Amino acid sequence: MTARIRIGIIGGGLAGITLAIALVKHPHVDVQVYEAAPQFLERGAGIGLSPLTLEALDDIIPSVIDLLKTQAGAVELDPARLVVGSGPEAGALVSDVEVAAGLTMNRAPLLQALISRLSGDMLHAGKRVKSLEQTDSCVTVVFEDGTDVHFDAVIGADGIFSSVRNHVVGEEPEKYAASPAGWWDCRHLVPFEKARLALGDESFKVDRQYAWLGEGASMLHGVVENRTMVQCIIAVIDKTFSTDRKRIVTRQVLEDALPASWYEGPVAKGMVDLILDQEEPKGYAIWEHKYTPTYANNRVCIVGDAAHTTSPWQSAGAGMAVEDAFILGHLIGNISSAGEITAAFRVFDALRRPRCQRVIDTGRETGRLFCGQNEAVGVDAKKLNEAIGQTFANVGALNLESHKEEALQTMRAFLGS
């Protein structure tokens, strides 16, 4: 090689930062990360990382579990517990989901723990992309502040409304844009003791995430921040598939959204009280990418939510982003020149897109099961156990070593070696 491969990552959230860590350890790669916001921050609900995700992340960052426990307040979890929350079987155990066991933490300290692995001169905040232009040998990124920069390749990790995605999918990008999945949720982070008093001792005897399934809605809670806080979420069906991404939430809004059968169960009253015990509670629409024709366009590709936004029902969004970084890290680590970038991106698309589309589709079906929308299953605990077991099996059905080897062999075939 005569020069390092210059790669620009657009987006400084979990997907972009994890990918940067996976790439920067290769001495032949020069990585720069650009974030539109003034600072590198994460917001939103607590996040769970499954054993499969942690295996991929440990390949990228050895001893990552220790890092997350010491710097991100990660809590080790038993398998998530699914319980009927409304109707005649309220309180009945559906199942303990093995695939969901792992670590849980808040997004903000998770991102900061990951950023600590990168050099500050790689990170550029306040850089919103205006346009991308490709030639056979270069990608030029133009920012809204009037500056531009040239790379051998660009990777978009800029989230659900990615500008890089629009470039990758080509003509009529609106056909492939994210759209409402059919639910909205509201969230609140509350002190552990307050949550225990509102929801009962039984839910906190073991560190785990709880999902309460029922008619028209689902409720979730789990411990985070070294067991000092509890993330509470109420998700309800949006029959209108509204494109309003944010709404004000009041007690009346929740009473209108939740069927009366919920209030006859063990958890709804406490969860509603906890959600409303914050200044200006808000609800947020759940969106997804229902179809994406490609993740790669020559020297540009997309990862994470920019490529495959999914509903949160299987807690798989972060896992998919980490898997993306795992595969791209190995692919780019095994090329020797910028001219081989296109082959690496083609392989990434060929392997990752089918996997991620399956997760999006099974995630949607899992949400329907959680909210009692599958007419053949309803809120019957036994039927839910059988159906949900099938949908969750798809998330964990991946051998990372085989996935990596298939990627490398496919790339060698593309390169003719």
174 DSSP 8-state letter: G
373 Cβ neighbours under 8 A, 6+ residues apart: 237, 367
Beta bridge partners of 104: 48, 75
* Selection from 140, 154, 131, 134 nearest residue 345 by Cα: 154
> How are beta strands 75-76 and 5-10 bridged, if at all?
unpaired
* 227 φ, ψ (degrees, to nearest 5): 70, 20
DSSP 35-75: ESSSS----SS-EEE-HHHHHHHHHHSTTHHHHHHHHS--E
Cβ atoms of 205 and 215 within 8 Å: the answer is no
| Distance in angstroms (rounded) separating the CA atoms of residues 412 and 228 | 49
**Identity of the residue numbered 192:** F
78 DSSP 8-state letter: P
| Distance in angstroms (rounded) separating the CA atoms of residues 309 and 169 | 15
Beta bridge partners of 284: 185, 246
Give the pLDDT confidence score for residue 1 in this predicted structure: 47
Q: What is the pTM of this model?
A: 0.94
With H, G, I as helix, E, B as strand and everything else as coil, classify residue 30: strand
Which run of H or of E encompasses 414?
helix 400-415
Q: Which two tokens stand for residue 187?
A: 């969230």
CA 147 to chain centre: 31
Give the pLDDT confidence score for residue 270 in this predicted structure: 97
Cβ atoms of 63 and 56 within 8 Å: the answer is no
89 DSSP 8-state letter: T
With H, G, I as helix, E, B as strand and everything else as coil, classify residue 282: strand
Fold held by 5-178+289-415 = FAD/NAD(P)-binding domain (3.50.50)
| Distance in angstroms (rounded) separating the CA atoms of residues 331 and 333 | 5
What is the Cα gyration radius of the chain? 22
DSSP 191-239: EHHHHHHHH-GGGGSS---EEEEETTEEEEEEEETTTTEEEEEEEEE-T
Each residue's pLDDT expressed in tens, for the chain with a length of 417 residues? 458 999 999 999 999 999 999 999 999 999 999 999 999 987 766 788 999 999 999 999 999 999 999 999 998 888 889 999 999 999 999 999 865 568 988 899 999 999 999 999 999 999 999 999 999 899 999 999 999 999 999 999 999 999 999 999 988 999 999 999 999 999 999 999 999 999 999 999 988 889 999 999 999 999 988 889 999 999 999 988 888 999 999 999 999 999 999 999 999 999 999 999 999 999 999 999 999 999 999 999 999 999 999 999 998 999 999 999 999 999 999 999 999 999 999 999 999 999 999 999 999 999 999 999 999 999 999 999 999 988 888 788 899 999 999 999 999 998 886
